[in-house]
Structure 1
Amino acid sequence: MRAHLARVDAVLVQALIAAALSFAHLHDVASAAGQDGWKAWAYPVSVDLLLVAAWRRLRSGDARAAGWCWFVIALTASLGANVATAGLLDLDEVPAWLRILVAGWPAVAFLGGTLLAHTVSASVGSTAEVAEVVDDQDGQQDAPSPAPEPAESITAPSPQPAPVAVVPERPAVPVPAALVEHARKVAAEHHNRTGAPIDTPTLRARLGVPVPLAEAIAARL
């Protein structure tokens, strides 16, 4: 337990040191590029917030390409400030291109944060459609069947041929087109990762749908 706490404390101290130094370097670059006063302190806050938003998107598992894109952009801004203040850049004579980047950063950070916070993955819409289809099927199954009509008179039963068992055909399950497209993406990702086609139980578990709907989707892949 003590070794675990010591490891956590060491990581926490390193994180605090890295955050403080990166914060100070971003402030120095922004101040050298003409952003003085409170504006220079707002730049490191903006970079850190974009890093956190991108990391949360990567942890959620949705739209990972967008998460990696904005994470790399924010990390490049942080590392660039650290390198620039290490003596490789004359902060008294900041080049024009760096002034342009610093001046345009707030708009870039706002765009990235908005896209990361409000982008809805396709799986959310597919899940809603699946729930709607399942509700319709439950409503059809719960419909009361008509009561049998009473017999007019009781007569002696006459010999009848033995009834032949007829297996009713399973009614076709409606499958939304968006759900089929999402299932194709899941099947392709499974094939690329395992080298084998996806089976129906795995597809049902990944989509979270009933067995009849999973079989209907697998038949259309």
Structure 2
Amino acid sequence: MPRTALRMDAVLVQAVIAGALSFAHLHDLAAAAGQDGWKAWAYPVSVDLLLVAAWRRLRSDGPSRLAWCWFLIALIASLGANVATAGLLDLSNVPAWLRILVAAWPALAFMGGTLLVHSPADRSSTAPAPAVPDPEPVPDVESARGPAADPAPDPVDSADAAPALPPADPAPAPPPAVPVPAALVDHARKVAADHEHRTGARIDTDTLRIRLGVPPHLADAIAAQLA
């Protein structure tokens, strides 16, 4: 038999034994505190359900002060019953404060379960998104070059009676390259990868500009580097 199967069977047996003993101790304590009949059997179910609900909230939403608070309350109730029924407490003469706690437990457990189910998740421990650096100013290449000099007119042959054609306009200069910080490009790659993972399609320039919060010309330069 594989070792993994043996380990899982041992853990399952331990869980059944611990659950049965804790269930019996909670029932005995509730019965000694005046909760007889079916009410004494309902107390172990209430404690275990609150413990499971708090643990599930911790597993699904991460660390939360609300979930940890109710998890510790249910754990103390379970461990307290185990210790109290181990001979440290006279079950034939339960003190009044313990009777009050046992009688108030249903309302406390109901409030805890309601808060665990309907309260929003605590995202205070989530790391904030990295700040996008401000785009660097684009240098004005045209102003740095100065005014373009007019080309010299072609010499006109005196024998040619036709007038000389005007010189053609110079070709427009290509748009200056927009410098993009390396950190912004890395962040844009993460945003594009997350968009493609969620939607199955590559991110377009407008969506990238909105997600990064940058001007259109800077978004075009980033999209060109991501292509």
Contact 2:54 2:71 in 1 (8 A): yes
Secondary structure of the equivalent of 1:35?
coil
Which aligned pairs between 1:11-160 and structure 2 lie closer than 5 A? Answer: 11-62=11-62, 64-121=64-121, 159-160=168-169
Unpaired runs of at least 5, structure 1: 124-157, 170-198
The CA deviation at 1:216 is 3.8
Secondary structure of the equivalent of 2:50?
helix
The CA deviation at 1:161 is 3.1
The CA deviation at 1:7 is 0.8
Q: Deviations over 1:18-48 (max 9, x none)?
A: 0000000000111111111111100000000
CA distance in 1, matches of 2:115, 2:61: 15
Secondary structure of the equivalent of 1:121?
coil
The CA deviation at 1:68 is 1.1
Percent sequence identity over aligned pairs: 64
Secondary structure of the equivalent of 1:164?
coil
What is aligned with 1:201? 187
Supply the RMSD in Å over aligned alpha carbons.
3.0
Query: Which structure is higher in helix share?
Result: 1
What is aligned with 1:164? 173
Contact 1:32 1:92 in 2 (8 A): yes
The CA deviation at 1:162 is 2.3
Q: Kindly tell me: are residues 51 and 3 of structure 1, through their superposed partners in 2, closer, same or farther at Cα, counting changes over 3 Å?
A: same
The CA deviation at 1:163 is 1.9
Q: State the TM-score, normalizing by the size of structure 2.
A: 0.59
Contact 2:64 2:121 in 1 (8 A): no
Q: Deviations over 1:128-183 (max 9, x none)?
A: xxxxxxxxxxxxxxxxxxxxxxxxxxxxxx933322344699xxxxxxxxxxxxxx
Query: For residue 78 of structure 2, what is the amino acid of its counterpart?
Result: S
Structure whose alpha-carbon radius of gyration is higher: 2
Query: For residue 201 of structure 1, what is the amino acid of its counterpart?
Result: H
Q: State the TM-score, normalizing by the size of structure 1.
A: 0.60
Query: For residue 187 of structure 2, what is the amino acid of its counterpart?
Result: P
CA distance in 1, matches of 2:176, 2:95: 81
Unpaired runs of at least 5, structure 2: 124-166, 179-184, 196-206, 215-227
